[in-house]
């Protein structure tokens, strides 16, 4: 947490099968300064996914209503479904001093980077393409057709990794979680995230120098 009080917004993206969901859960479980945003989606729940925990599951119509109401910070279509970040949660948690993490895909990440340039963007990738395919297949929750679409999407996404700030290779969950934590905590010391503190020091110094 920064002494200026406000939390940092971080986006974590990664190919389907990059293990980002597992890393995020571990990060939140191990450190209490993080708040993980829960997205809305029009995709159907996978076995074991819970409403309001994994996602807010909505129909396409309900999702479009959220768009009309300007209730989303960003949204995108990914492999035929809508995904979006509800606005309220993100800013209220940041104001409380929590570091908010969005686990979102690339188009949404780019919308946020444009609107909020102070956001930290991290891209997670498995160590190899074979590993990526193996993890998707091994999950056993998607059809071959959906897996093929996700692989195609990953090859398009690979072109935009350069627009992120950090790349972390996930070959070990513990190491990867530690690296993501270090990146976010280091970001607190970037002068761009310390503007308020710098201003307060400057004002203080002015008083003493007459
Ligand atoms: P999945 O269907 O595997 O849960 O998610 C598919 C993709 O959608 C992942 O890359 C995930 O990061 C992304 N995603 C999840 N929530 C959001 C969101 O709120 N906005 C955007 N733009 N992407 C999201």
pTM of the model: 0.89
**Ligand 1 atom having least distance to the Cα of 76:** 22
Q: Is 106 in the pocket of ligand 1 (CB under 6 A)?
A: no
Mean pLDDT of 85-95: 94
- Closest-CA residue, ligand 1 atom 24, reads 104
Average pLDDT of the chain is: 92
**Which pLDDT tens digit goes with each residue over 193-202?**
888 889 999 9
Residue ranges covered by each domain of the chain? 9-37+98-209
The fold for domain 9-37+98-209 equals: Rossmann fold (3.40.50)
- What's the Cα-to-Cα distance from 83 to each of 19, 37, 88, 184, rounded to whole Å? 19, 12, 16, 24
User: Measured in angstroms, how far is the CA atom of residue 5 from the centroid of ligand 1?
Assistant: 29
**Which pLDDT tens digit goes with each residue over 93-147?**
999 999 999 999 999 999 999 999 999 999 999 988 888 888 888 888 888 898 8
Q: For the chain, give the percent of residues with pLDDT over 70.
A: 98
User: Measured in angstroms, how far is the CA atom of residue 83 from the centroid of ligand 1?
Assistant: 6
**Ligand 1 atom having least distance to the Cα of 107:** 22
Q: What residues contact 184, with CB distance under 8 A and at least 6 apart?
A: 8, 10, 34, 99, 101, 120
pLDDT at 2: 42
Query: Higher-confidence residue: 155 or 59?
Result: 59
- Closest-CA residue, ligand 1 atom 2, reads 43
The CA distance from 4 to 69, in Å, is 32
- Closest-CA residue, ligand 1 atom 20, reads 84
């Amino acid at each position: 947490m920064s002494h200026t009080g406000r939390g940092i917004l971080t986006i974590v993206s990664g190919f389907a099968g990059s293990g980002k969901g597992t890393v995020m859960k571990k990060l939140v479980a191990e450190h209490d300064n993080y708040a993980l945003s829960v997205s809305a989606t029009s995709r159907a729940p996978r076995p074991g996914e819970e409403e309001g925990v994994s996602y807010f599951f909505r129909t396409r119509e309900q999702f479009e209503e959220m768009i009309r109401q300007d209730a989303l910070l960003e949204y995108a279509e990914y492999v035929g479904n809508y995904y979006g970040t509800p606005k309220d949660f993100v800013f209220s948690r940041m104001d409380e001093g929590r570091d908010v993490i969005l686990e979102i895909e690339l188009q949404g990440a780019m919308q946020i980077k444009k609107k909020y340039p102070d956001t930290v963007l991290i891209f997670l990738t498995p160590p190899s393409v074979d590993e990526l395919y193996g993890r998707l297949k091994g999950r056993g929750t998607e059809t071959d057709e959906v897996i093929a679409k996700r692989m195609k999407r990953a090859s398009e996404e690979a072109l935009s990794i350069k627009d992120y700030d950090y790349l972390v290779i996930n070959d070990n969950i513990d190491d990867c979680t530690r690296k993501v934590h270090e990146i976010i905590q280091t970001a607190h010391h970037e002068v761009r995230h310390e503007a308020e503190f710098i201003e307060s020091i400057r004002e203080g110094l002015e008083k003493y120098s007459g």
